[in-house]
């Protein structure tokens, strides 16, 4: 295992930023999200868990799926550009597991989503382990851990050694190997601190028991206050629903260029299921909110073998009316008896 000082880590990041796209947690007017940085100086180092997840760099909020150019000389369908090689630094273990959840549907279930696959291939994930679980974190409830290495190429763990901050780097994948080729630091074994875990969290019932609870009046009550906005799904590292629409890119005499854009969408919003003519099989906020929880704890595990929730707690913090997914898990546990 390689051990780096903070200075060495920063120097290495500066070096990476020269020839790769380096993305790291940044503070945008008080909100923490993952943004392109020109060096270690722009990184918001003292972050717990960002407000927006790194999903924005693998499954961007808006992306061109293809471009259509129509002119007298015929119609061409053009592929979107290849994403540049990117290093995602400062990824928390829960977010990395979020990518694995999206992989389960976008990559592991045919046909694989080409644009997401290209982003995944072009991106190397450097994780930073969490020293503890914070207020709205519950990764241990959904099979994660503050120091889990799943879905990461390199995991850095911060540790103190006679009042000096060091980072122990575990290189986990072949991609990580390639990136860590010229990583500074000394090669030695060091004991990794174990993160402080939050006790007394509810246990997640298996998906079969969720099926039995589908028609409980509980789902009506928890959804009463839902505003049917899209905040919880947009901050979620595992949500991956999208809308597709053609947008006019440019219209010149004789040449028209359209982009087939794909953008995030949310099952909690009303137009998501509204069909031409106005009929909506899920008309109420309650029925839509229930679908969101069932997708995460029943449909996704059943269809794609991976939970749809990684316990990051972003939806708990982002929800304007405090709809708390951990409270939902506890309620289903109580209902299951």
Partner 1 sequence: MSSVEQQIRDAARQYLENGVYCVTGYERGPRGKVRPAFIYQASDVDRLVWGPECDLNLVNYVHQFKQPLRRGEPPPKVAVVVRPCDARAINLLVHEQQIKRENVKAIGVACTGATPGDPERQACQVCHERVPVTYDTLVQAEGEAGAPPAQDNYTDIVDMENWTPRQRLDYWLKEFDRCIRCYACRQACPGCYCFECVAEQVDPHWTSIALELPEKYFFHVMRAFHLAGRCVACDACEAACPMDIPLSQLNRKLAKEVEALFGYHTGEDPEKAPPLTTFNPAERLPL
Partner 2 sequence: MSHSHPNPMKPNLATITGIRNLATGIKLLQVKLDDPQVSRDFDYQPGQFAELSAFGVGESPFGITSTRGHGEEIELAINRVGTVTEAVHRLDVGDKVGVRGPLGNGFPMDQFKGKNVVVLGGGIGGAPLRPVIQTILDNRADYGKLSIFWAARSPDLLVFTEEYDYWRAQPNTELYLTVDVRTPDWPHKEGLITTLIEGVNPSPENAITITCGPPIMIKFAMLSLKKLGFKPDQNWVTLEAKMKCGIGKCGRCNLGPVFVCTDGPVFRFDRVEGFMESFV
Partner 3 sequence: MESRNEFEPKIVAFLCNWCSYAGADLAGTSRMQYPQNVRIIRVPCSGRVDPLFVVKAFQDGADGVMVLGCHPGDCHYQQGNYFAQRRYALMHRLLEFTGIESDRLFVEWVSASEGKKFAQVVTNFTEKVRALGPAAIKSARRAQPVREVACGETLQEVSA
The residues binding partner 2 (CB under 8 A) are 65-66, 68, 70, 74-75, 77-79, 82, 105-106, 109, 111-115, 117-118, 121, 211, 214, 240-246, 248, 256, 258, 260, 262, 265, 267, 272-277, 281-282, 291, 294-295, 298-299, 302-303
Between 45 and 214, CB nearer to partner 2:
214
User: Stretches 181-189, 252-260, 282-290, 321-329: which one binds partner 3 (CB under 8 A)?
Assistant: 252-260
Q: Measure the CA–CA gap between 77 and 203, rounded to whole angstroms.
A: 49
Q: Measure the CA–CA gap between 4 and 190, rounded to whole angstroms.
A: 11
Q: Which does 264 bind (CB under 5 to 8 A by kind): partner 2, partner 1, partner 3, none?
A: partner 1
Q: Measure the CA–CA gap between 73 and 248, rounded to whole angstroms.
A: 19
**Residues from 41 through 80 that contact partner 3 (CB under 8 A):** 60, 62, 64, 67, 69, 76, 78-80
Polymer length in residues for the chain: 337
Q: Measure the CA–CA gap between 118 and 128, rounded to whole angstroms.
A: 24
Confirm or reject binding of residue 250 to partner 1 (CB under 8 A).
no
CB atoms within 10 A of CB 23: 23
Between 228 and 257, CB nearer to partner 3:
257
C-alpha of 132 from chain center: 20
CB 72 within 8 A of CB 107: no
Tokens 């939902």 correspond to 328
CB 286 within 8 A of CB 274: no
**94 closest CA partner among 33, 150, 52:** 150
**92 closest CA partner among 55, 123, 122, 41:** 55
**Residues from 88 through 147 that contact partner 1 (CB under 8 A):** 135-136
C-alpha of 2 from chain center: 27
Q: Helix 93-106 vs helix 114-122: angle between axes, to the nearest 10 degrees?
A: 140
To the nearest whole angstrom, how small is the minimum distance from the Cβ of residue 79 to partner 3? 7
Tell me which DSSP letter residue 309 carries.
-
Between 12 and 234, CB nearer to partner 1:
234
Between 159 and 249, CB nearer to partner 3:
249
29: left (phi over 0), alpha (psi -120 to 50) or beta: left
Token reading at 232: 């919880």
To the nearest whole angstrom, how small is the minimum distance from the Cβ of residue 249 to partner 3? 5
Confirm or reject binding of residue 227 to partner 1 (CB under 8 A).
yes
Between 25 and 301, CB nearer to partner 2:
301
**Residues from 39 through 78 that contact partner 1 (CB under 8 A):** 51-52, 61-62
Confirm or reject binding of residue 203 to partner 1 (CB under 8 A).
no
CB 266 within 8 A of CB 241: yes
Find the binder of partner 3 among 103, 113, 259, 265 (CB under 8 A).
Answer: 259
Confirm or reject binding of residue 255 to partner 3 (CB under 8 A).
yes
Token reading at 328: 């939902």
Confirm or reject binding of residue 38 to partner 3 (CB under 8 A).
no
Report the interface residues with partner 1, using CB under 8 A.
28-31, 51-52, 61-62, 135-136, 221, 224-225, 227-231, 234-235, 243, 245, 247, 261, 263-266, 269, 271, 285, 316-318, 320-322, 324, 327
Report the interface residues with partner 3, using CB under 8 A.
60, 62, 64, 67, 69, 76, 78-81, 249-250, 252, 255, 257, 259, 261
């Amino acid at each position: 295992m390689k051990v780096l000082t903070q200075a060495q880590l920063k120097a290495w990041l500066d070096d990476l930023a020269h020839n790769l796209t380096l993305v790291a947690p940044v503070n945008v007017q008080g909100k923490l999200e993952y943004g392109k940085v020109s060096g270690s100086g722009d990184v918001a180092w003292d972050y717990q868990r960002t407000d927006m997840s790194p999903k924005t760099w693998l499954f961007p909020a808006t992306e061109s799926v293809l471009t259509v150019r129509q002119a007298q000389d015929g119609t061409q369908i053009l592929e979107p550009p290849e994403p540049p090689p990117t290093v995602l630094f400062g990824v928390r273990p829960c977010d990395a597991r979020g990518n694995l959840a999206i992989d389960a549907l976008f990559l592991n279930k045919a046909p694989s989503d080409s644009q997401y696959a290209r982003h995944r291939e072009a991106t190397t994930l450097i994780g930073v382990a969490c020293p503890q679980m914070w207020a709205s974190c519950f990764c241990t409830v959904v099979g994660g851990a503050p120091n889990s290495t799943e879905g990461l190429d390199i995991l850095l763990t911060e540790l103190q050694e006679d009042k000096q901050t060091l980072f122990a780097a575990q290189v986990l994948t072949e991609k990580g190997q390639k990136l860590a080729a010229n990583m500074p630091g000394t090669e030695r074994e060091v004991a990794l601190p174990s993160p402080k875990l939050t006790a007394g969290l509810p246990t997640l019932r298996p998906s079969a028991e969720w099926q039995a609870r589908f028609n409980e009046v509980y789902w009506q009550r928890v959804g009463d206050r839902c505003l049917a906005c899209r905040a919880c799904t947009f901050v979620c590292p595992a949500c991956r629903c999208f809308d597709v629409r053609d947008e006019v890119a440019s219209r010149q005499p004789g040449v028209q260029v359209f982009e087939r854009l794909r953008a995030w969408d949310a099952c909690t919003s009303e137009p998501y299921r509204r069909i031409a003519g106005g009929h909506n099989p899920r008309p109420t906020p309650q029925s839509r909110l229930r679908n969101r929880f069932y997708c995460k704890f029943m449909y996704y595990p059943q269809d794609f073998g991976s939970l749809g929730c990684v316990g990051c707690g972003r939806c708990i913090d982002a929800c304007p009316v405090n709809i708390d997914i951990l409270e939902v898990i506890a309620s289903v546990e109580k209902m299951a008896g």
